[in-house]
A and B are shown apart, each in its own frame.
Chain A
Amino acid sequence: MEHSDRSIDKETVLFELGDGIRNCAQLMVTCLVDAIYPSVGISAVEVLEAQGITVEFPSDQTCCGQPAFNSGYWKDARAMARHTLDVFSVTNGPIVVPSGSCTDMIVHQYTELLKDDAEYLAKAQDVAGRTYEFTQFLVDKMGLDDVGARFRGRAAYHSSCHGLRGLNLREQPRVLLSHVEGLKQVELPCSEECCGFGGLFSVTMSSISGSILERKLDNLEESGADLLLGNDVSCLMHMAGGLKLRGTQIEVKHISEVLNTHD
């Protein structure tokens, strides 16, 4: 397979941020990637950099507040949302997030959460307008379909629900994966069905969560995949933990890790 030079010419202006700053994106790495899967963040940065994007990482970022929001602690979630907005509202340019659910939280839930707070609502609207999930950024914002990756494997892609239904992330990851040399995409039966994670639900109603997980893993085994991919490490961690407990040898990776592999 022949690849054209996909990376952006240094002179190409994808987005202009004033003061001569261009093609620079902010990384919101998410708390789970930061603490548990840092290699996902590193991969995302390297993929972006390979495409000519300068990546900045505002170091005061912590958690978007989704865990508190989803479990009904909106007061606590609001506090975390305000902190995240304080960190990112002073930045410029697109904000890239390697997670569909955290992106959905920022893009769709912050405005609901802060609707009675004019100051932060304005910040939320600004930040929401320039926040993108990682594959959404590559495909929709940058117009890419091929990042020049090579990875051998039979991959099943799990579309995590918040990205799928909240951000309509259907084609973006698949388009990128279809251009990965050596990678065969296999269809995951019932691919749009939830994996059962659900945040704290996985702990408080763990037996229901576990029962949904079993069905997902059965489907995964049936698909013949040796690699499970997704764009939300929360769901991936849940499924990887289930595979580990089963003793099933299926590798689990975030899509950025595959897109950052060239061997």
Chain B
Amino acid sequence: MTNLTFYERTRDALEDPTVNQAIRVGARRFVSHRASTVSGLPEMDSLRDRARVIRAETLNKLDVFLAEFADNVELNGGRVFWAKNADEANDYVVKLAAARGVRHVVKSKSMVTEEIELNHALEVAGVRVIESDLGEFIAQLAGERPSHIIAPVLHKTRGEVGKLFEEELNVAYTEEPIALNDIARSHLRDIFLSSDMGISGVNFGVAESGTLSLVTNEGNGRFCTTTPRIHVALMGMERLVPTFADLGTMLPVLEISATGQRLTVYNNLLTGPRRSGEPDGPEELHVVILDNGRSDTLASEVAEILYCIRCGACLNICPVYQSIGGHAYGSVYPGPLGSVLTPTLMGLEQWHELPHASTLCGACKEICPVRIDIPSLLLRLRDASSKANHSPVWIRTLMRIYSIVARHPKLFQLGMRFASVSSRLFAKEDWLNRLPPPLNGWTDHRNFRALAKKSFGQQWAERRSTEHTS
């Protein structure tokens, strides 16, 4: 995606006041919408507990449910393709498009297609791809990736969108949301009607019926999956629920956590392609079930991240996400969820900074609809990362020395004395305004408090000896 390092991307994000402000306002709006809905919903906690149980049971017997799901999709007249990785998934869709003479594809929002870079694969093959989710549409016009998993252009102000539309769509400038929406709507209408293939993601696949549950607020998902003659749905292999009844738990939990809506505007349940006698629906339905590292994740010590239902609540609440936004992470999946999922799916070596991009404040765990212990997963990845020597030598050395010294109380106290004397040597009224590298990061943003003249241990010892002599 980018050649910049994590630190460079972070710096750029922090230095961009518009992005900074837009993200914070947007993320906080989601948080407050969710909070106000939850405050009127005493059963939310038990719904979340139930949702967690459903996710755990699904993943415990994922092989069984996947087989059941695939059988039912095929019984309903759909085709299932099992893709081991991104290339296999892209290859299948590209070949299908070629075989059916597809020139235009219209897409509903799907993070899995971002993960495998399907648009790029199709475009290389000469197929035109148009995103129909408003946010994705804007991101595509701007040539950007989504910065949030449910609100792709959270980082943009409406003024920026107005300018973009003016330049790219040749319309008069406006920054009125309704007017902007109308522009996109009329632009997309013809595309919906003229596309040969609709591509969507899947929020949940129902194992017992082979049904695809798809949630949108704009109706574009329904358009994409019913108007073109071919519907291709891409689904991460963990996105199943065993039964239809489970949707009764999972959908409200997802929707409330994502946007604070009790119910999303369009809840689509798609079971098979058009059957004979039905007036609409696609002629063909293809479901691509993607592994792309998920089997390995399931067997790893961070398997719990596969409980994730992609609501985005952990992004919204995260103080780090609120500071740097989604793009700085550099990964398709940003925020706390992305900091676990990305290194797990794509490799820790390339993504070893991400598990460290957290204060471990635990707000993500607290808000997660399925109560994923994200801080604990981040810590496990940090441990794995240090074992693989991905972290800076000075930290490794510092920790090793500190742990040795900390096992020898006398040495520890001596070390503290030394640190006290040396820090006080450079301090002005107990404070230092500069620390030497590699600790200078601290003093770039705050002064450093010098160590006390006498440690607590020393003061305690003196106190005791006074007591004994008095």
Residues of A within 8 A of B (CB): 29, 31, 33-39, 41-42, 45, 57, 59-63, 65, 67-74, 76-77, 79-80, 83, 112, 161-162, 164-166, 192-194, 196-213, 215, 237-238, 240-242, 244-245
| Residues 144-169 of B contacting A (Cβ, < 8 Å) | none
Q: Contacting chain A: which of B202-210, B239-247, B358-366?
A: B358-366
Further 14 A-B residue pairs, CB within 8 A, beyond A63-B412, A68-B403, A208-B14: A38-B455, A62-B405, A62-B412, A70-B360, A71-B399, A72-B356, A73-B383, A76-B400, A79-B404, A79-B406, A205-B357, A212-B323, A213-B446, A240-B446
Please give the distance in Å from B155's CB to the nearest CB on chain A: 15
- Note all chain A residues with C-beta closer than 8 A to B459: 38, 41-42
Contact B399 A68 (CB under 8 A): yes
Among B431, B442, B444, B460, contact of A59 (Cβ-Cβ < 8 Å): B460
- 19 A-B residue pairings within 8 Å (CB atoms): A35-B416, A35-B420, A57-B460, A68-B403, A70-B379, A72-B383, A74-B383, A74-B386, A77-B403, A165-B366, A166-B362, A198-B359, A198-B360, A199-B359, A206-B441, A207-B441, A211-B323, A212-B359, A240-B446
Contact B444 A206 (CB under 8 A): yes
| Residues 214-264 of B contacting A (Cβ, < 8 Å) | none
In the bound assembly, the distance between CA atoms of A41 and B452 in angstroms comes to: 12
What residue in chain A is nearest B400 (Cβ atoms)? A76
Contact A60 B361 (CB under 8 A): no
In the bound assembly, the distance between CA atoms of A77 and B400 in angstroms comes to: 9
- Note all chain A residues with C-beta closer than 8 A to B444: 206-207, 210
Contact B402 A63 (CB under 8 A): yes
Among B363, B442, B445, B454, contact of A38 (Cβ-Cβ < 8 Å): B454
Contact A245 B403 (CB under 8 A): no
The 5 closest A-B pairs by CB, nearest first: A72-B382, A210-B445, A241-B446, A198-B359, A206-B441
In the bound assembly, the distance between CA atoms of A108 and B357 in angstroms comes to: 22
Interface of A is mostly: helix
- Note all chain B residues with C-beta closer than 8 A to A61: 409
Please give the distance in Å from A116's CB to the nearest CB on chain B: 13
Question: Which size class do B's interface residues fall under?
Answer: 35 or more
Please give the distance in Å from B399's CB to the nearest CB on chain A: 4
Given the interface pairs A35-B452, A62-B412, A161-B361, the reply to whether A69 lies near B406 with Cβ below 8 Å is no
In the bound assembly, the distance between CA atoms of A109 and B344 in angstroms comes to: 22
Given the interface pairs A34-B416, A76-B399, A79-B407, the reply to whether A165 lies near B362 with Cβ below 8 Å is yes
In the bound assembly, the distance between CA atoms of A124 and B394 in angstroms comes to: 30
What residue in chain A is nearest B444 (Cβ atoms)? A206
Contact A62 B406 (CB under 8 A): yes
- Note all chain A residues with C-beta closer than 8 A to B92: none
Given the interface pairs A72-B386, A76-B400, the reply to whether A209 lies near B359 with Cβ below 8 Å is yes
In the bound assembly, the distance between CA atoms of A69 and B383 in angstroms comes to: 8
- Note all chain A residues with C-beta closer than 8 A to B399: 67-68, 71, 73, 76
Please give the distance in Å from A201's CB to the nearest CB on chain B: 6
